[in-house]
Structure 1
Amino acid sequence: MSEWEVHAVKYADRNARVRGDSFVFDDRHDVAHPMDYFIWVLRQGERVILVDTGYDAAEADARGRPIQLDPRSALAPLGITPEAVETVIVTHLHYDHAGGLHLFPNAQLHIQAAEMAYATGPCMCHDTLRMPFSSGHICEAVKRLYSGKVIFHDGDAEVAEGVTVHRIGGHSRGLQAVRVLTSAGWLVLASDAAHFYENFQSRKPFPIVVDMQDMLEGFTTIERLASRPELIVPGHDPLVMSSFPRDKADHIVRLDLGPKLSSA
């Protein structure tokens, strides 16, 4: 089975946060706790699979959450042009993961059926559950569906040889993690199944949650999927940037060779 090269591409961060924003029932809830925002790139020869799309300047302005790099510019050092991207795995439809779908007009999307049903169903009548979504992003996913460019999955599925998706739920109804075969072993892009290492290492749930049991059981799932714990890559932890080697640019790290330090 062929191995993949994997990059984490940082396009934004948010420092005005505290631990209470990241962990339920944390004893140090008012201590600062920054968050990074990533897109992930899987590459095998000429083939590229994008995992999530980030969000653009318009969404940044609407939410008051600035980005450092437009997702298209963030990918440029890897030689990736938006029009050339043919496959995007959407881990879930929250604004910071699906806010750039329109930037990749030729891509076919891989989404869990449960996520589309959640984002377009009665749960969105509740302000709290609707808050991480933006209607324009959901409409873009529906437009892509009607143009024949969505593949739905129901649980575990293979997107390509050495690349599988696994429904976790918890944070969002159809949240999926991505498992990738690399030279270091099976690497898991947890996305928001674990925003931070501490979420799964200490079994501390993230506060934005639709199903707490799914979130907690998801920690066990991502540990089972990875060849070893240090090959679990959380979705928003700034430690990712210091744990893995930089590659091509200061905002990009290479994941497939494993972390620089086993204690990452």
Structure 2
Amino acid sequence: MWRLRLDSNTGCLAVEVRDPDLLLARFYTINTLSGTVQQLALPEAKAWWQGLEDAGQGLVYLHGYGNRQLGQHKGIFAFSGTGAGKVWEVPKLAFYGMAQPGLLAYDPEQPEAPFQVLEPATGRATGELLSQQEAAEAAARYNQVRFRDCLYPMLYHEGTLYFNQVKAFLQEQLQVQPVQAVEYAETETCLVISYYLPQPDGKLDNVLAVFSLSGKLHQNVKIGSQLSAIGSDTFFIFKHNLYFILNKDTLQVFRLLA
């Protein structure tokens, strides 16, 4: 599993799965309420050169590539989250984000040009233009609204005050020595921490721990091993469920105490 994106409006989770050995990519949606899985209808020959951008308002947004060597995103492709197929595409623009006025897009060939606002349902330009600063602010405001039922962790790098505080807590509770970074989230009942442990060969193990607010350990799961670098957003919490990827290929969900 390469990337997850949550449509918090519908409770649909979009998943990107890639096999670099076979140059295959597939995209799925998972209804977090029913567990129903749908595969997006893409030709396998083209799917490798597309990637998951985001999901919202019942649609899944994929990108293509302009300059494949540089990884430059170009093209926006909107698919139905229920598996009904492609809804629209805008091949010459690139996805930037989502905001209250609509989908934010820019021209990768003219990065200094104003950002365009597209209608999410059709991909048509509304005629509204935003500066890059205005687009960034609009996307940030909208994210606060659409992710109000979703909690993503804060990333604290080694050497910062909060890293040292979380490290001291893990040392006391688990007798471990986390390195490089930790991700931390706190609910009304739980503390969730993703941390890294060094291995003799220089690689890293990624471990996810769940504690009560009083410090009682509920879960301590190795979710990754033999890692060359740290990641980000290694878990998220949506409506009291904890979502994470185990060993890069298994999506697991734990129910947290409400």
Same fold (TM over 0.5): no
**Richer in helix (by share):** 1
For CA contacts below 8 A with separation 6 or more, give which structure has more relative contact order. 1
**Richer in strand (by share):** 2
TM-score, normalisation: structure 1: 0.31
TM-score, normalisation: structure 2: 0.31
Greater radius of gyration (CA): 2
